[in-house]
Amino acid sequence: DGGITQSPKYLFRKEGQNVTLSCEQNLNHDAMYWYRQDPGQGLRLIYYSQIVNDFQKGDIAEGYSVSREKKESFPLTVTSAQKNPTAFYLCASSIASSTRRDGYTFGSGTRLTVV
């Protein structure tokens, strides 16, 4: 069955360390997204990519970086510049031409904790 795989499920980061969250999909979707979820704040868009080798900043991109070298993969790096990285991170994907109508498919998330 097709879906989105996020790994790891739990990740611990030391102060000043960069960490990379993996997101892989086999749905043949063009567009991919990273959202951050904090209690009581819903989901906030970090980055999105409509096509390979192209991506755009979302509402809270500072302290994060992404790459889109393959259609299937959209890794997120949380850099040391992100001052409050503890959160639940969700990756999603969609068919670019019908995103507005059809919505997203989500992965099961990665919980990042700073120790």
Partner 1 sequence: AQSVTQPDIHITVSEGASLELRCNYSYGATPYLFWYVQSPGQGLQLLLKYFSGDTLVQGIKGFEAEFKRSQSSFNLRKPSVHWSDAAEYFCAVGAGTGGFKTIFGAGTRLFVKA
Closest by CA position to 19, among listed 31, 7, 4, 36: 7
Exposed (0-12), middle (13-18) or buried (19+): which is 67, by Cβ within 10 Å? middle
Among residues 1, 14, 42, 115, which is the contact residue for partner 1, using CB under 8 A?
Answer: 42
Tell me the window of 11-19, 30-38, 69-77, 78-86 that interacts with partner 1 (CB under 8 A). Answer: 30-38
Give how far Cα 102 sits from Cα of 75, 93, 94, Å: 23, 11, 8
Exposed (0-12), middle (13-18) or buried (19+): which is 27, by Cβ within 10 Å? middle
Residue 103 is a binding residue for partner 1 (CB under 8 A): yes
Closest by CA position to 76, among listed 99, 102, 109, 100: 109
Instruction: Kindly identify the residues of this chain, within the stretch 48-87, that bind partner 1 according to CB under 8 A.
Output: 48, 50, 56, 58-59
Among residues 33, 34, 64, 74, which is the contact residue for partner 1, using CB under 8 A?
Answer: 33
Q: Which is nearer to partner 1, 19 or 90 (CB)?
A: 90
Query: Could you tell me the smallest distance in angstroms from the CB atom of residue 65 to partner 1?
Result: 19
Which positions lie near partner 1, rule CB under 8 A?
Answer: 4, 6, 31, 33, 35, 40-43, 45, 48, 50, 56, 58-59, 90, 92, 94, 96, 99-109, 111
